């Protein structure tokens, strides 16, 4: 058996750069939580029950808007759907024991997937070190941000714009995966129509409609070719 | 009550947190249970390619709709988006783009509008 300590060190070495990138977002999330009116300790509850950064930000909106569980579940399914691909190549098999594997599955975020893909871990200890470190670097800054948010006055407006900016950046980054301009145009158009016609159900309607368009593109290659607009 | 924002109930909060938590873990777990069904499946390949950018675009529009009632309205929000995009095109540093775009927006709504 290999000693655990070098694997822990290797895990930290591989993870620190990506995990450090989580700190400003974690701070912003905590700050927003208390500015909106949650007590600081709700921040770690959000981050443990959900543990998916962009979805946690969005959850603040959904709670404030009083969105029901079904719409919420569908939104979570669409927003986090990408996670379904991570497990196909993530080295969870290196982790021994049920509890370890359960944690490894639960904490399979964009970041831990990206780290394990860039630096294939050698052992389960290394895998778990990466995942635990990433979660710590998300939850702890969240708490710090929330505590800061409790002491600064609530008069400063517009902090919630961080969520818009986050999705703008994510849209840009995910666009690079296909470079097909028809995708953001279709999605943006559907969202606009849904928002104007059915403002109360905007997210669910827009996401379902977009999903149906993709089903159509899959079933009809001719439609897919007609819509495609690569840049 | 329960450290929640005014007008928000505990039931309302859990009705959002629990479904998201369950769905997220289920999505992370599915590939381990159904590797064979998901690997090299054409429909899943298409979804992997096309779904993320569309979902993120929907979320941009959705969050922008929420900004309409804020001071400065859509104009300030669209300027914020433009600053975010400009910064991202320039440096491609996500943290910088989000921070810069948000600060620009906050400057607008607190000082200008």
pLDDT in tens, B56-100: 999 999 999 888 888 888 999 999 999 999 999 999 988 889 889
Closest to A164 (Cβ–Cβ): which among B19, B38, B60? B60
Q: What residues pair up with A230 in beta bridges, in sequence order?
A: A180
Query: What is the tens place of the pLDDT at every residue in A123-152?
Result: 999 999 999 999 999 999 999 999 999 888
Of B35, B49, B77, the CB nearest to A164: B77
For residues A149 and A17, the model is more confident at A149
> Chain A contacts of B22, Cβ < 8 Å?
73
The answer to whether the beta carbons of residues A43 and A142 sit under 8 Å apart is yes
| pLDDT band with cut points at 50, 70 and 90 for residue A155 | low
Q: How far apart are CA B3 and CA B7, in angstroms?
A: 11
From the list A42, A87, A159, which residue is nearest B3 (CB)?
Answer: A42
pLDDT band per the 50, 70, 90 thresholds, residue A3:
low
CB A130 within 8 A of CB A115: yes
Q: Measured between CA atoms, how close is A185 to chain B, in angstroms?
A: 8
Chain A segment 116-155 residues within 8 A of B by beta carbon are: none
The ipTM, to two decimals, is 0.89
CA–CA distance, A47 with A72 (Å, rounded to integer): 17
Residue A32 neighbours by CB under 8 Å, 6+ apart: A57, A60, A145, A149, A159, A160, A162, A163
**DSSP state at residue A230:** B
DSSP code, position B5: P
Q: What rounded mean pLDDT belongs to chain B?
A: 91
The pLDDT of residue B107: 92
Summarised one tens digit per residue, pLDDT across range A175-220 is 987 899 999 999 999 999 999 999 888 888 999 999 999 999 999 9
B96 neighbourhood in chain A, CB within 8 Å = none
> What is the average pLDDT value for chain A, to the nearest integer?
91
Whether residue B39 and residue A88 make contact (CB cut-off 8 A), yes or no, is yes
Sign of CA dihedral B111, A172, A69, A204: positive
């Amino acid at each position: 058996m290999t000693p655990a300590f070098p694997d822990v060190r290797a895990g930290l070495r591989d993870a620190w750069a990506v995990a450090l990138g989580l700190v400003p977002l974690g701070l912003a999330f905590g700050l927003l939580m208390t500015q909106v009116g949650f007590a600081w300790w709700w921040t770690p509850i959000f981050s443990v029950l959900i543990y998916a950064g962009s979805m946690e930000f969005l959850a603040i909106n959904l709670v404030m808007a009083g969105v029901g569980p079904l719409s919420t579940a569908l939104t979570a399914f669409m927003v986090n759907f990408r996670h379904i691909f991570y497990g196909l190549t993530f080295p969870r098999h290196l982790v021994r024991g049920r509890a370890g594997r359960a944690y490894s599955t639960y904490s399979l975020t964009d970041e831990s997937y990206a780290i394990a893909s860039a630096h294939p871990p050698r052992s389960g200890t290394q895998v778990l070190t990466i995942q635990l470190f990433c979660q710590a670097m998300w939850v702890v800054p969240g708490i710090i941000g929330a505590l800061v948010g409790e002491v600064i006055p609530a008069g400063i407006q517009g902090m919630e714009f961080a969520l818009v900016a986050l999705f703008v950046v994510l849209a840009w980054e995910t666009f690079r995966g296909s470079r097909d301009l028809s995708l953001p145009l279709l999605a943006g158009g559907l969202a606009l129509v849904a928002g104007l016609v059915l403002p109360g159900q905007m997210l669910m309607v827009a996401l379902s409609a977009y999903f149906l368009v993709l089903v159509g593109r899959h079933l009809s290659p001719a439609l897919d070719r007609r819509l495609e607009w690569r840049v | 009550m329960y450290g929640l924002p005014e007008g928000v109930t505990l039931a309302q909060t859990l009705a959002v947190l629990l479904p998201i938590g369950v769905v997220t873990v289920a999505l992370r777990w599915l590939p381990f249970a159904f590797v064979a069904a998901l690997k090299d499946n054409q429909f899943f390949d298409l979804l992997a390619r096309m779904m993320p950018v569309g979902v993120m675009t929907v979320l941009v529009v959705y969050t922008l709709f929420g900004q309409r009632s804020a001071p400065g309205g859509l104009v300030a929000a669209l300027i914020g988006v433009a600053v975010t995009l400009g910064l991202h095109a320039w440096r491609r540093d996500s943290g910088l783009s989000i921070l810069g775009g948000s600060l620009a927006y906050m400057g607008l709504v607190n000082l200008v509008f």
